[in-house]
Amino acid sequence: MKTFLYSHLVCYEDTDAGGVVYHSKYLNFAERARMSFLHENGIICKEMAQGEKPCGFMIKHCEIDYRRPALLEDELIVETHLLELRGAGFDCLQTVKRGEETLVEMKLQVVCVTPSGKPIRIPENIRTKLAEIS
């Protein structure tokens, strides 16, 4: 299983008045990491949306385990692992770390959808790229 790493420096906009990362911001960090993960592996979301059969990825389900808080100016790494590739989607694990310390762990189900939100099978060219990652 390949691991994709995405770094993020915690900014003021990420924190509450006490300098602690606000809980919903971890979803933003994970989204940026997934987008970079796809892009780095040749899966360009803009091309998917504008292709012959337009489609995109959407989160169907997310489980989050908050273990420790991140703080202002912490240097975080979001690790992304593709766990399972299925017909219309894939499962991934995203872990937010500060050094070796795990702060947040997210398990996600990602599904491929049409512009109207209907689930569809992942296009074969995208499936091939995802299969190479797993």
Listed as own residue / partner, the contacts of 49-58 with beta carbons closer than 8 Å and 24 or more positions apart are 49/115, 51/123, 53/120, 53/123, 54/114, 54/115, 55/112, 55/113, 55/114, 55/115, 55/120, 55/123, 56/112, 56/113, 56/115, 57/89, 57/110, 57/111, 57/112, 57/113, 58/110, 58/111, 58/113, 58/117
Active-site residue flag, 16 = yes
Q: Which of 14, 16, 74, 91 is catalytic?
A: 16
Active site residues: 16
